[in-house]
Amino acid sequence: MRTEKEKIVDVCVYVDRPPLDCDEFERYVVNLVRCANISALVGKNIPSDLLRNDLFPDIGRITVESELNSINFSIDWDEVKFRTHVVVLRTDEPESDFLDDGVSNTEECVSCAEVWQLPHANYVDVWESLVFESTLKNDLFNFVEASLLFSKRGLPMRYLGNKLVFLHGPPGTGKTTLCHALAQKLSVYMSSTFENSYLVQVNSHSLFSRWFSESGKLVTRLFDRIKEMVENSKNLVVVLIDEIESLAMVRKASSEPSDSVRAVNALLTQLDSLKRHENVLILTTSNLTEAVDSAFCSRADIKRYVGLPSVRVMYEILRQSCFQLKQSKCVRFDASGEMEDKDFLRIFTPERGRKAELAEADAILESLLENAKLSNVCNSSRSPDRRNEIASEDASSKLKQIANLCVGLTPRTLEKLPLLVFSKHVVSHGKIEIDLFQYLEFLEQEVRAQFRELKELNSAVNGHPNDGFCHDGRDRFRIARRSQ
């Protein structure tokens, strides 16, 4: 029983094969985590040199997660509850002949869905890579936990929800990726409840367009197959329907009433029939919210708008990419001494008021004067620590400026920037690695280039050079203002 005081530390262990003695294995892992500097480990992998591979050779890696942001050494270990999740990562290709029952004629056996076994190597670390301003990630995870708790406690079905999530918003803001990441996270965290986890990724568009007069029947067949999987209570089945508007389009607006209405009706009926199962979750996304049928929306337990990122989120996404480039030896952080990367590019700090900025400027001036006095007295240059601090301050504020400049771009565009910078400014100049400050300069140039390209694109498409480039009214307004 979890008490108020208990602190939860989740330890995810990826193994090549399940251990023979699970209890002994878990004890070994927990001891390892206790011995290591746990505060430095939260959100990270345990370094492989700490693993005694002679004891358990099949450990691929161990990651430590905690509800707490940091845990320090003064922690009372009796207060900590370790939850160990030992899983084997799948690497298989997805199954794509989902509706092929070997009986129906081959023409009907469209590949309208892909089935992935989870946890899959493709989706490792995706959850961690996603940054949102709101608590969206945890809200989704907690929703599934709560719904499972309610079914375990035997609450009547009407309290258990439809296990249906609807994410909507402009393109490239992480809706699909979040669904993949959530499915993977559930498969790891619920591995002791469910033996097998699956992600059924439905290609609703092809289902509808190719089989125009048959979509209602195909929707029913698709859900019949899903129900077969769900009947086994050891399976956790996460169904992802991207572009849900093509299946659940507003019924009255349809030009081909009979078929599309049948498809929407079939979808609604099937959703209702799935809800009695506790081991299914249906995730749906759309960037055409207004085209989605209201009866579908009203069934969704969680309806969340996923909008363009704030400056803080932009900063974190760009910061992550800098660390990734550093790790892959494409960008050098010239910090000397013991300074850690995370301190070099600091986490985002919000803009402060004018008063605070003036106070800081005074403090910096004072410390510079102090340093100048010291260097006169000691005739020595600045210490490496101070140099690091200044470099870190510069790099962090430069990145903040760039993040401010990015407002209006999507995370999908941000993700492309490192490659574009390298292709235009690094590889083309015969280099393979550059210094962080140089990289940030080029990054800024590339962000400006992106805005120019998008403006050209919009004027070509719409004939309005100042029009926005995403399907969101508020963003269009902001971008229109920006490009004036």
Ligand X SMILES: Nc1ncnc2c1ncn2[C@@H]1O[C@H](COP(=O)(O)OP(=O)(O)OP(=O)(O)O)[C@@H](O)[C@H]1O
Binding residues (CB under 5 A) for Mg ion: these are 176
Contact call for residues 75 and 41 (beta carbons, < 8 A): no
| Beta carbon of residue 169, minimum distance to Mg ion (angstroms, whole number) | 10
| Beta carbon of residue 231, minimum distance to ligand X (angstroms, whole number) | 30
140, HSE (Cβ side, Cα atoms, 13 Å): 29
Where are the extended beta strands (E) located within 203-272? 235-241
123 sits near ligand X (criterion: CB under 6 A)? no
Contact call for residues 322 and 281 (beta carbons, < 8 A): no
For ligand X, which residue of 317, 331, 345, 479 counts as binding (CB under 6 A)?
317
Helix (H, G, I), strand (E, B) or coil at 278: coil
Helix (H, G, I), strand (E, B) or coil at 91: coil
| Beta carbon of residue 98, minimum distance to ligand X (angstroms, whole number) | 21
Helix H or strand E encompassing 282: strand 280-286
Which lies closer to Mg ion via its Cβ, residue 122 or residue 176? 176
| Beta carbon of residue 328, minimum distance to Mg ion (angstroms, whole number) | 26
Instruction: Measure the CA dihedral 263/265/271/274, to 10°.
Output: -100
DSSP 78: G
In the chain, the amino acid numbered 375 is: S
For ligand X, which residue of 45, 176, 206, 269 counts as binding (CB under 6 A)?
176
CA distance 213 to 107: 14
Which lies closer to ligand X via its Cβ, residue 414 or residue 440? 414
Contact call for residues 15 and 87 (beta carbons, < 8 A): yes
Using Cβ positions, the residue closest to ligand X within the complex turns out to be 174
* Interaction pattern, residues 414-433, with ligand X; x per rule: CB under 6 A: -x------------------
For ligand X, which residue of 38, 130, 436, 440 counts as binding (CB under 6 A)?
130
End-to-end distance of the chain based on CA atoms, in angstroms?
59
* Interaction pattern, residues 272-311, with ligand X; x per rule: CB under 6 A: -------------x-x---------------------x--
177 sits near ligand X (criterion: CB under 6 A)? yes
Of the candidates 427, 445, 426, 444, the residue with the CA atom closest to the CA atom of residue 435:
426
Which lies closer to ligand X via its Cβ, residue 41 or residue 178? 178
132 touches which of Mg ion, ligand X, none (CB within 5 to 8 A by kind)? ligand X
Angle, alpha carbons 69-74-78 (nearest 5°): 90
- For the record, the structure tokens of 477 come out as 């307004």
Q: How many residues bind ligand X (CB under 6 A)?
A: 18
| Beta carbon of residue 136, minimum distance to ligand X (angstroms, whole number) | 9
| Beta carbon of residue 177, minimum distance to ligand X (angstroms, whole number) | 3
Residues of this chain that bind ligand X (CB under 6 A): 129-132, 171-177, 285, 287, 309, 317, 411-412, 415
